Structure 1
Amino acid sequence: MNLREDVAPAAERDLDEAARHASARSARAGALTEDYVEIIADLLESDGEARPTDIARRLGVAHTTAIKTIARLKRDGLAHAKPYRGVFLTEAGQAMARRVRARHQTVVAFLRTIGVRPEVAEIDAEGIEHYVSEETLSAFERFIASAPRDSD
């Protein structure tokens, strides 16, 4: 084997690894947006409004941090605000919230199916839901569908 044949596979491995890291960085950025959209949807459903103060409290961030992120959601077409009212989701924001909730429910169901306690499954799903690929999510769904059911 010559040097050129030795270098090519190493370069390919480096490119593959770089792509995986780029994908993870992108998922982390998207996770923040998804968390905000999900919290806004939850607040709108439970309280009829999503005030920046309530969003900040639920996410455990400073009020100014929530305001800046809400501004980005508005810029990205996911949310809008009404004067003296709260934050509301656009159709795109509502669609994102539905997708995130469905992913969360699938991840929780998968974790529960493999024996994870409910409270731990909920905590772990908060992270996993943002990073799991569609292929893996589909595999989770197939596994859940094929798993024996408890007879409680």
Structure 2
Amino acid sequence: MTTQPKMPVKALPDATRRAAAFRRMREAQRTEVAEDYVELIGDLIAMIGEARLTDLAEHLGVSHGTAAKVVQRLQREGLVESLPYRSIFLTERGAEVAAMSRDRHRIVHDFLRALGVSEAVAEADAEGIEHHVSKETLEAFIRHTKTLVADR
């Protein structure tokens, strides 16, 4: 039997605080897909005038069937409207979620770029971080981005 080397263990955080953090992460994971879809739908409508299921699947790297299931879920949640064989449109609530997600993405991306992270890496990392970052952290990113950019 192999034993692990004994490492100094820091005190575990308060259970209530730790549980709240894990709940927040689970909630972020639950909403991540919806936010990605509505953000992309909004971008496609802005760029080419419509969002089609085929375009969603292609841009998200998923199958047509997967995209269709997510769009059905988004319809049930009141974020999009769609008719069979027609474009997909954001509801007012869907447009709000898309704008919020897009704004969080921009804040994280700009902060990473101000730190000196390459464009490609900042774009990829922002795509994951944007869904899990708190409002307090976003506000700190904004403050520090301004400082970093001003120092150049």
Q: Same fold (TM over 0.5)?
A: yes
State the shift of 1:13 in Å: 2.1
TM-score by length of 1: 0.86
Task: Give matches, 1:23-34, under 5 Å.
Answer: 23-34=24-35
Match of 2:22 in 1: 21
In the TM superposition, residue 47 of structure 1 has moved relative to its aligned partner by 1.5
The number of equivalent residue pairs is 142
Structure 2, unaligned stretches of length 5 or more?
1-10
Aligned partners of 1:27 and 1:131 also within 8 Å:
yes
TM-score by length of 2: 0.86
Kindly state the Cα deviation for residue 84 of structure 1 after the two structures are TM-superposed.
3.2
Q: Does 1:126 align with 2:127?
A: yes
Instruction: Provide the aligned C-alpha RMSD in A.
Output: 1.9
Assess if the C-alpha contact under 8 Å between 1:49 and 1:85 holds in 2: no
Does the CA-based 8 Å contact 1:51-1:85 persist in structure 2? yes
Deviation (angstroms), 1:18: 1.9
Dislocated runs of 4+, deviation >4 Å: none
Equivalent residue number for residue 66 of structure 1:
67
| Cα separation, 2, equivalents of 1:103 and 1:24 | 16
Match of 1:81 in 2: 82
Shift of 1:61: 1.0
Inter-partner Cα distance in structure 1 for 2:110 and 2:151: 13
Matches within 5 A, 1:4-15: 13-15=14-16
Contact between 1:50 and 1:86, CA under 8 Å: does it hold in 2?
yes
Q: Which runs of 5+ in 1 are unaligned?
A: 1-9
